[in-house]
A and B are shown apart, each in its own frame.
Chain A
Amino acid sequence: MASETMTRSGGHDALRSFLKRTAQFLLVLATTLLGLIAVTFFIGRVVPIDPVIAIVGDRAPAHVYERAREELGLDLPLIQQFGIYVKKAVTGDFGNSVLTTNPVMTDIANVFPATLELATLGTIIGTLLGIPLGVLAAVKRGSLIDQLVRLLGLVGYSVPIFWLGLMSLLLFYAKLGWVGGPGRIDVTYSYLYTPVTGIVLLDTAMQGQWDAFWDAVSHIALPACLLGYFSLAYISRMTRSFMLNELAQEYVIAARVKGLSEMRVIWRHALRNAAVPLVTVIALSYANLLEGSVLTETVFAWPGLGQYITNSLQNADMNAVLGGTLVIGAVFVLLNLVSDLLYRLLDPRTR
């Protein structure tokens, strides 16, 4: 036999490959962000919206218009404008929002935590329920629970989210009074804590304001469950199909031959393998929610990123739109890299 093992790396190689991967990671991050900046810049120049008019109004005299134009640097050659834009963008400066007059970054720093909070909770709900449901559906293929999972998925795809949102508000808030209404927290509680992270559940809990915390819970419950439901519909369907694939593999039979319990065969052997592609699915679903679910945010008066960008778009507030777009892009890139990292961690064949 020529060589007993096909691959093996010592500690030295491991360190080098780690450094190499980190460098690659940073390079990908940098180029992707630069690409995004370029795209948003050119979109900003191509759309038929005059940023000067957006500021001075369309009745301003010519000299006022000119001065504003110079102040914005719009008289410079395009390439120079781009240079300035990049320089500002990397320091997080996207100019001011016309609508709110604040720096765009400040606005985003205000609205993003709301979206982050909702999306994270939604994803946690979707994952914690979606995976076991998907596993059960695959294990008991053709059974009632399998049909139920498929029905959930179907409804998740075909029922408009705003309708479901309105109906659930009507039922659980207006009729039953089980949950708080629209918004993140009641006004009465909103002065009891100081926003630090911008994530209300975290802020109130850290400051020991438990009444405020529970009020915030009652407000986020409904929209989080709604997003969780859509995430669940997707995750359970994918879990089911990944699990069906794994359960048909030979190593599952080998695990049973070893006399392992069915629990162990399913959760430790099959699911552990299905988890590899699932990471990507969950990351994708999370990214979709982080983009800001405009409809959900609108129905629940949730002051998040989706609403912010939609508002800015409707008011031709280009700085805000482009800044928001860039943030969403960065979130996608980041999640992509994280899921890539997890993927490697879970699957030794990719290391």
Chain B
Amino acid sequence: MTKPLLDVEDLRVRFHLRTGTVEAVRGVSFQLGRERLGIVGESGSGKSQTGRAILGLTPPPGEVTAQRLAFDGIDLLTASKRTLRELRGGRISMVMQDPKYSLNPVMTIGEQIIEAYRAHARKAGRGEARDRALAMLEAVKMRDPGRVFALYPHEVSGGMGQRAMIAMMLVTEPDLLIADEPTSALDVTVSMEVLRILDELVSERGMGLIFISHDLKLVSSFCDRVLVMYAGRVVEELQAKHLREAKHPYTQGLMSCLPTLANDVRPLPTLNRDPAWAQ
């Protein structure tokens, strides 16, 4: 096996609060090449905190420890701030949940993409950066890139906003993209369109992808491999196509909760949780 792009071993994220210590992530390990890894789990299971820890963006009272946290051989835990900043946006990027909040409301979409590009291509002139931004807007299938370029985030729909976000995060051609519930804030039809675009770009550019979601079905259709998280731990790791072979009762529970058209189950099953899984 070649050297993995991302190597995570025993990742822990703790928040030391006045009321005690919250362990958001409790020993997550995985390796990732230029492939698609899905992370599923219920709300609060630590999916987002795992992603943020990789980017070195754990919010203030949080503390990150790991046996190993390396990106392309670079130890992220001991890397200088400068190195981290060059990796962020340059080689590891993240698409966030809701474009309504994750785009700066007082800057045009074009400015925000240019800024992302120039943060890493410092020698690039404005003209070149502008061309790149426009090309990127085209790559995310904007109908009229020149016009969208000059719009403010509030002037575009949710689907367009999320495509602009993808354009902004991919303009530097990163090696790894973390997509943290990139379609949860969108309605179904728009969300399919955004996923198709994301799918295309990830394949085209041969990026590694971490796709975070609580939709097991979506993740298994989109990714090669799936991590199932529960209470800050990975309880199961599966090939997406072997989902049916899930052994852990939590994953099985999640699967039996998926509604199917063929056999309508009533009453809808509820998910049972065993405190022992969190041990």
- Asked whether A87 is an interface residue with its Cβ less than 8 Å from the other chain, the reply is no
Best-surrounded residue of A251, A255, A272, A273 (most CB of chain B within 10 A): A251
Contact of B155 among A1, A7, A276, A346 (CB under 8 A): A7
A274: shortest Cβ distance to chain B, in Å? 10
- Asked whether B90 is an interface residue with its Cβ less than 8 Å from the other chain, the reply is yes
Q: Identify the stretch in A19-27, A53-61, A256-264 within 8 Å (CB) of chain B at 4 or more residues.
A: A256-264
Chain B interface category by residue count: 35 or more
A273 and B90 alpha carbons, distance in the complex (Å): 25
Chain A interface category by residue count: 20 to 34
B61: shortest Cβ distance to chain A, in Å? 11
A339 and B95 alpha carbons, distance in the complex (Å): 36
A26 and B173 alpha carbons, distance in the complex (Å): 52
A253-B57, A273-B104 known; A258-B160 Cβ under 8 A: no
- Asked whether B94 is an interface residue with its Cβ less than 8 Å from the other chain, the reply is yes
Q: Is the CB of B156 within 8 A of A5?
A: yes
A347 and B147 alpha carbons, distance in the complex (Å): 19
A258 and B57 alpha carbons, distance in the complex (Å): 11
- Asked whether B103 is an interface residue with its Cβ less than 8 Å from the other chain, the reply is yes
Q: How many A-B residue contacts, CB cutoff 8 Å?
A: 97
Q: Is the CB of B94 within 8 A of A259?
A: no
Q: Is the CB of A272 within 8 A of B106?
A: yes
A272 and B144 alpha carbons, distance in the complex (Å): 28
- Asked whether A269 is an interface residue with its Cβ less than 8 Å from the other chain, the reply is yes
- Asked whether B120 is an interface residue with its Cβ less than 8 Å from the other chain, the reply is yes
B116 neighbours in A (Cβ, 8 Å):
258-259
- Asked whether A63 is an interface residue with its Cβ less than 8 Å from the other chain, the reply is no
Q: Is the CB of B115 within 8 A of A348?
A: no
Q: Return the chain B residue nearest A276 by Cβ.
A: B106
Q: Is the CB of A250 within 8 A of B106?
A: no
Residues 109-167 of B at the A interface (beta carbon under 8 Å) = 115-116, 119-120, 143-144, 147-148, 151-152, 154-157, 159-160, 165
A318: shortest Cβ distance to chain B, in Å? 48
A1-B157, A250-B98, A254-B96 known; A259-B104 Cβ under 8 A: no
A260 and B115 alpha carbons, distance in the complex (Å): 8
Q: Identify the stretch in B67-75, B80-88, B236-244 within 8 Å (CB) of chain A at 4 or more residues.
A: B80-88
Q: Is the CB of B86 within 8 A of A259?
A: yes
A4-B143, A348-B152 known; A257-B169 Cβ under 8 A: yes
Contact of A4 among B103, B104, B144 (CB under 8 A): B144
A6 and B147 alpha carbons, distance in the complex (Å): 13
A346 neighbours in B (Cβ, 8 Å):
106
B178: shortest Cβ distance to chain A, in Å? 9
Q: Is the CB of A251 within 8 A of B155?
A: no
A269 neighbours in B (Cβ, 8 Å):
104, 107
A8 and B104 alpha carbons, distance in the complex (Å): 19
Q: Is the CB of B88 within 8 A of A257?
A: yes
Write out, one digit per residue, whether chain A residues 146-175 have a CB within 8 A of any chain B CB (1) or not (0). Answer: 000000000000000000000000000000
A4-B144, A273-B104 known; A250-B156 Cβ under 8 A: no
- Asked whether B168 is an interface residue with its Cβ less than 8 Å from the other chain, the reply is yes
A348 and B151 alpha carbons, distance in the complex (Å): 10
- Asked whether B206 is an interface residue with its Cβ less than 8 Å from the other chain, the reply is no
Residues 246-304 of A at the B interface (beta carbon under 8 Å) = 249-251, 253-261, 269, 272-273, 276
Q: Return the chain B residue nearest A7 by Cβ.
A: B155
Q: Is the CB of B147 within 8 A of A5?
A: yes
B101: shortest Cβ distance to chain A, in Å? 4
- Asked whether B102 is an interface residue with its Cβ less than 8 Å from the other chain, the reply is yes
B101 neighbours in A (Cβ, 8 Å):
249-251
Write out, one digit per residue, whether chain A residues 201-228 have a CB within 8 A of any chain B CB (1) or not (0). Answer: 0000000000000000000000000000
A115: shortest Cβ distance to chain B, in Å? 34
A6: shortest Cβ distance to chain B, in Å? 6
Q: Return the chain A residue nearest B51 by Cβ.
A: A257
Q: Is the CB of A5 within 8 A of B157?
A: yes
A276: shortest Cβ distance to chain B, in Å? 7
- Asked whether A349 is an interface residue with its Cβ less than 8 Å from the other chain, the reply is yes
- Asked whether B89 is an interface residue with its Cβ less than 8 Å from the other chain, the reply is yes
Q: Return the chain A residue nearest B160 by Cβ.
A: A4
- Asked whether B45 is an interface residue with its Cβ less than 8 Å from the other chain, the reply is no
Q: Is the CB of A258 within 8 A of B106?
A: no
A347 neighbours in B (Cβ, 8 Å):
105-106
Q: Is the CB of B105 within 8 A of A251?
A: yes
Q: Is the CB of A254 within 8 A of B106?
A: no
Write out, one digit per residue, whether chain B residues 155-191 have a CB within 8 A of any chain A CB (1) or not (0). Answer: 1110110000100110000000000000000000010
Besides the known contacts A6-B156, A253-B102, A257-B57, 14 further A-B residue pairs in the complex with CB atoms under 8 A apart: A4-B156, A250-B97, A251-B104, A254-B165, A255-B104, A256-B88, A257-B93, A257-B169, A259-B86, A259-B88, A269-B104, A272-B106, A273-B104, A348-B154
Some 7 contacts from A to B, beta carbons below 8 A apart, are: A5-B151, A7-B155, A8-B151, A250-B97, A254-B103, A257-B88, A276-B106
Q: Which 4 A-B pairs have the closest CB atoms?
A: A259-B89, A250-B101, A259-B88, A258-B89
